[in-house]
Amino acid sequence: MSDVKRVVLAYSGGLDTSVILKWLATEYQCEVVTFTADLGQGEELEPARAKAELMGVRPEYIFIDDLREEFVRDYVMPMMRSNALYEGLYLLGTSIARPLIAKRQIEIARQVGADAVSHGATGKGNDQVRFELGYYALAPDIRVIAPWREWDLTSRTRLIEYAEQHQIPVPKDKRGESPFSTDANLLHTSSEGKVLEDPWDEVPDYVYSRTDDPVTAPDVPEEITIDFERGDAVAVNGEGLSPATLLAKLNELGKRHGIGRLDLVENRFVGMKSRGMYETPGGTIYHLAHRGIEQITLDRGAMHLKDELAPRYAELIYNGLWFSPEREMLQAAIDHSQHKVSGTVRLKLFKGSVFVTGRRSPYSLYSEKVVTFEDDAGAYDQRDAAGFIKLNALRLRLLGRRDGL
């Protein structure tokens, strides 16, 4: 395995990826380049730099990037245009972050002349697939190292032993078994494992970190507005915001009102079912608001086609196929529908719920004149409906006659 010279590691600064850092350097006798991304996970990143330095990474090989705006603008928002929900419910908060990390790792690998990339995802999960499909799509001949599938540090005890043997600091709270594991970014926090493994057991209160308890949330609904332009949110309560600050603002609102909690048993791409708990406060508001503005600005044909394509699109993102021709084709179709998805949605947030209460748009297709119960001054001729029904019924009548009805 001595053929690897330089490897770019997706490095969080935590215990696991620190052990990986050391293990890569030792096992592969190669130079390790660390890449730490700020995707809005809410942790300080500078400690990661210090740790990497401490473990011998050359300063010029420590990459720490704030990717929050790119994340929301180029990944979250395009996905939100599709209204994608994996298995009907999940807003894909983890899945959508992986392609960006993979892309940036490959860019860094090219920049520093690395011949390999590595990540800290385990061999049972979806994230290994998402990282690696991203790597291979963007750099077909890159070498991928997945330590969790290779090494023999298969228990936490052995991992900690390894850390101690190699002078890797072990935080006190990592000594014992963590009761669950989490992943976080600007869109969501996911929790899974251990105390969540029995899908009949209720998720314990202490697992929630991104949302306040709906029970103790404010007793009075809060009304907000979101403005959309060409399918993307651009303002909250009238205040124009950049993509990341907008999502952060919605997260703050959603947190306060206990919005976006989801207890889910889902089907992993690798073939097993897993139980997760997701908190997507701002994303949940965003999703419903986007549906709201589409209701008045999207034509029926466009909306129904989108609705039929959305499950497939969601599956592709979940499975790590962001960088695939078929995801791009679907994106092209979806984006084509969004040119006039502009306007304002008003919502009420209250103890875990989001209610769309109004929507308006300069591009509204809703016509009070046509729909009204009142006299419509000839905008719609009710007699047309007779012919419409007759011809839609024709095939059913021929069928009924044949079948002797």
Binding-site residues for ATP, in ranges, read 10-18, 37, 120
- Choice from 300, 342, 377, 378 touching a second copy (CB under 8 A): 300
**Binding of a second copy by 381 (CB under 8 A):** yes
Least Å distance, CB 40 to a second copy, is: 25
Per CB under 8 A, the list member of 171, 176, 301, 378 interacting with a second copy is: 301
Q: What is the per-residue DSSP string for 102-165?
A: HHHHHHHHHHHT-SEEE----SSSSHHHHHHHHHHHH-TT-EEE-HHHH-S--SHHHHHHHHHH
Q: Look-up: residue for tokens 């705006």?
A: 69
Residue 265 interacting with a second copy (CB under 8 A): yes
Whether 201 is catalytic is: no
Pairwise CA distance, residues 340 & 351, whole Å = 32
Closer Cβ to a second copy, 41 or 324, answer by number: 324
Closest approach of a second copy to the CB of residue 355, in Å: 7
Record the tokens describing residue 194, joined without a space. Answer: 């251990």
Question: Does 16 qualify as catalytic in the annotation?
Answer: yes
From candidates 59, 60, 373, 378, binder to a second copy by CB under 8 A? 373
Q: Enter the tokens of residue 338.
A: 């969004």
CA pair distance 289, 258, nearest whole angstrom: 17
Q: How far apart are CA 246 and CA 252, in angstroms?
A: 10
Which residues, 16 to 55, sit near a second copy by CB under 8 A? none
At 99 the three-state DSSP class reads helix
Tell me if residue 274 is catalytic.
no
Alpha-carbon distance values, 377 to 132, 292, 365, 370, 382 (Å): 61, 29, 18, 9, 12
Strand-pair partners of 273: 267
Name the residue nearer to a second copy (CB basis): 93 or 258: 258
Specify the stretch interacting with a second copy by CB under 8 A; choose among 23-31, 62-70, 161-169, 199-207.
Answer: 199-207
- Map the footprint of a second copy across residues 307-366, applying CB under 8 A: 307-308, 310-312, 315, 321, 323-326, 328-330, 332-337, 340, 346, 350-353, 355-360, 363-366
From the candidates 49, 68, 81, 98, which is the catalytic residue? 98
Kindly state whether residue 87 participates in binding a second copy, applying the rule CB under 8 A: yes
Smallest distance, a second copy to C-beta of residue 48, A: 24
Query: Which one, 46 or 222, has the nearer CB to a second copy?
Result: 222
283, containing H or E segment = helix 281-297
Answer whether 289's CB lies under 8 Å from 77's CB.
Answer: no
Identify residues 106-135 at the interface with a second copy (CB under 8 A).
122-124, 128-129, 132-133
Residues forming the annotated binding site?
Answer: 10-18, 37, 90, 95, 120, 122, 126-127, 130, 181, 190, 266, 278
Q: How far is the CB of 190 from a second copy (least distance, A)?
A: 14
Which value, in Å, is the radius of gyration of the alpha carbons in the chain? 25
SS3 45: coil
How far apart are the C-alpha atoms of 43 and 294, rounded to whole Å? 35
Asked if 220 is part of the footprint of a second copy (rule: CB under 8 A), the reply reads: yes
Asked whether position 160 contacts a second copy by CB under 8 A, the answer is: no
98 assigned to active site: yes
Residues belonging to the active site: 16, 98, 127, 181
